[in-house]
Amino acid sequence: MFGFPFSKDYYSASLLNLMIREDLTRELEIIRGKDVAVVGAGPSLVDHREFEGEVMISADGATNYLLSLGIVPDVIVTDLDGITQFPDSLYVVHAHGDNYHLLHKVSELKRVVGTTQVPPFGRLKLFGGFTDGDRAVVLARAFGARRIRLYGMDLDSPMVGRYSKPWLSSDSPASHLKRLKLRVAKDIINEVIGKDL
């Protein structure tokens, strides 16, 4: 559908695998049986100052907003292109063909689970998902969340939230490619949660 080259995905995954010091997948068990808040970086994110959930999973740039409120998420799902602050959380870092140049940031992180979109190898996992937001939802479901609440997941919005990318100072129109990605993300979330958003 998108024509992303497998070779670049594999190269990025290989780099990430070399950086992962140990398999910390077991730490994701904090999700099991819990009510989980999944926080995305859509335009409506700034409408929320409180989040219900025993465990919080943030999607990439949403972390910057949460930290501005003094909230440190338990788990951060990221491909490293939106997050600018790195609290002491568990990171689920995704390698793909467009982010190999950002993977150096992994060395700054204490606790990392590496994920890939190619067949997994080494210490890398393949939980599923396409964008940081839907990967967070897939992760919550895969690790047995009792309930998943979504915040800032504006998958039908024509706008990209200002916390999505560090260079945005306000909500901006979503590109055609971004709208396609959000459509795929919505389909994945609908499948995982079992209802239409």
Is residue 2 predicted with pLDDT exceeding 70? Answer: no
Strand-pair partners of 173: 159
The per-residue pLDDT for 115 is: 98
First and final C-alpha spacing in the chain = 22
**By three-state DSSP, how is residue 62 classified?**
helix
Burial class (CB in 10 A: 0-12, 13-18, 19+), 62: buried
Chain-centroid distance, C-alpha 68: 18
Q: Say how far apart CA 29 and CA 150 lie, in whole Å.
A: 20
Residue 155 has what pLDDT?
96
**pLDDT surpassing 90 at residue 5:** no
What local confidence, expressed as pLDDT, does residue 1 receive?
Answer: 54
